[in-house]
Chain A
Amino acid sequence: MYTRNVREIIEALIFSSDGALEIKDILKVLPGISENEVESMVNELNKIYDETGRSFMITRASNGYMFVSRDGYTQYIKALMPPFRLSRASLEVLAVIAYKGPCTKQDIDLIRGVDSSSSLKTLVHHELVNVIAGRPLRYVTSKKFLEVFGLNSLSELPDLDQFEELFGKA
């Protein structure tokens, strides 16, 4: 049916993608292949990488797949690019947007009780947050946000109520 192994076609697609490649895009290229088949082939690929001692693997994020380095290589990569960390303030702003978004800056300030301008700027700059045009501007988390935090969708975030259970009604 295809001139190449489907498994390797999937590998090529993920390899050439900038950021996570969504499964539905893979299915578009390969009609007749199911989502489960894609998943099992990705598992096979990962097994091959593991067995042949590759330094990378395919990981799931943002309803798709992307190549990332394996954990053992972190210290060497870190020498070239400093790890990316967000400040507590930025993480709080990001959390508000992830749980309450799309929301305005005013919404965010209200929940945090402080001005959030500079954190918002950082988050937009790092493309973790997208701006929805309009008056007032509204903010939503981006595809990159899902990638960075290893989520397929926002619904995978634990419920805020669940936190209450986890940490008690302190």
Chain B
Amino acid sequence: MSSLQAGTEFVLRLPRFEGPLDLLLYLIEKNRLSIEELELCPIIDQYLEYINAVRRLNIELAAEFLDMASYLLWLKSSSLISINSGTEDSELVNPMAELKEMLAAYRGIKIAARNLNERQLLYRERFPKGRTPKVEADVSKMDIMAILKAIASIRERTKHYVVSIKRDRYHIREIMGRINSMLQKKKKVSLVEVAETRVKSEIIAIFLAALELSKASIVRLVQKSIYGTIYMVRRSESFTSQNKRDPLRYK
């Protein structure tokens, strides 16, 4: 079978295909067919062979190649159906004709692209007055020192905009524990007392911890007036071992 040979050949040619249409055109040409007399069966088999060969090499294939594969299979199956039922659908769009049209259009563009390439003299053979083309720096060809230098200069330039942020992490459970031990010494603790710092995130964590404790019926939250100090008052019996629920495990 020629499939194996063909497979290896395709793999070598891989980078040349711009897309599924390009690959199809190649296969058509290889089979000495014209777009007009395109026969699907051999082309589909070779197309799928190519895709499998590429996948065996673990090369990531553009999704478009797979789209086309399923489209071709669908086309093949629908053409079989239409032969069997004997209905030449004249009203419906002939999907085969559509594919041929796509291939012809793409081939036109491919040739036009080649023609453009041949036309280009400027910036290749002749250079215009005083205008340097924008040349992209090819990072792969740069030595590591140049890259490090570039990074350093970017750092230097952007130094003023870099603000280092220290993230304070407060665990609500940890603060619930803290409140617990405070409430063991006295019956009533204000939220503000619990705070060890003035950091906003800690205040928020304390507030959430207070809500959790209240929800677990361990404390009662008391506030005498709007904006007044909020106190947590230990609920008498709930805090003892009678309470089966461990507040620290409360989520």
Contact = CB atoms under 8 A, between A and B. Distances in A.
Interface of A: 15, 18-19, 56, 59, 61, 66-71, 74, 77, 81-86, 88-89, 91-92, 94-96, 98-99, 111-115, 125-126, 147-151, 157-158, 160, 163-164, 166-167, 169-170
Nearest to A14: B129
A89 B18 CA distance: 6
Contacts of B19: 112-114
A160 B129 contact: no
Contact of A68 (B36, B110, B126): B126
Nearest to A164: B108
A111 B106 contact: yes
Contacts of B108: 99, 160, 163-164
15 contacts: A59-B126, A66-B129, A74-B124, A74-B125, A84-B133, A86-B120, A91-B113, A99-B108, A111-B102, A113-B106, A114-B19, A148-B120, A148-B123, A151-B119, A170-B34
B129 A68 contact: yes
Nearest to B135: A82
B128 interface: yes
Contacts of B115: 95, 157-158, 163
Interface of B: 18-22, 29, 34-36, 62, 64, 68, 102, 105-117, 119-129, 131-135
Contacts of A95: 109, 112-113, 115-116
A167 B111 CA distance: 9
A169 B111 CA distance: 13
Contact of A19 (B18, B29, B107, B131): B131
Contact of A163 (B111, B128, B131): B111
Nearest to B111: A163
Given A18-B131, A114-B64, A169-B36, A70 B126 contact: yes
Contact of B134 (A61, A125, A151, A158): A125
Contacts of B107: 170
A91 B128 contact: no
A6 B125 CA distance: 30
Question: A66, A92, A94, A158 — which one has the most chain B CB atoms within 10 A of its CB?
Answer: A92
The 10 closest A-B CB pairs, nearest first, are: A114-B19, A84-B123, A91-B113, A95-B112, A113-B21, A68-B126, A67-B129, A95-B113, A160-B108, A92-B113
A96 B109 contact: yes
A69 to B, nearest CB: 5
B34 A113 contact: no
Given A69-B126, A113-B68, A81 B112 contact: no
A68 B123 CA distance: 10
Contact of B62 (A18, A83, A114, A126): A114
B112 A157 contact: yes
A91 B134 contact: no
A83 B18 contact: no
Contacts of A167: 111
Nearest to B18: A89
A113 B102 contact: yes
A70 to B, nearest CB: 7
Contacts of A84: 123-124, 133, 135
Contacts of A66: 128-129
B65 to A, nearest CB: 9
Nearest to A72: B125
Contact of A81 (B35, B121, B122, B127): B127
A91 B176 CA distance: 66
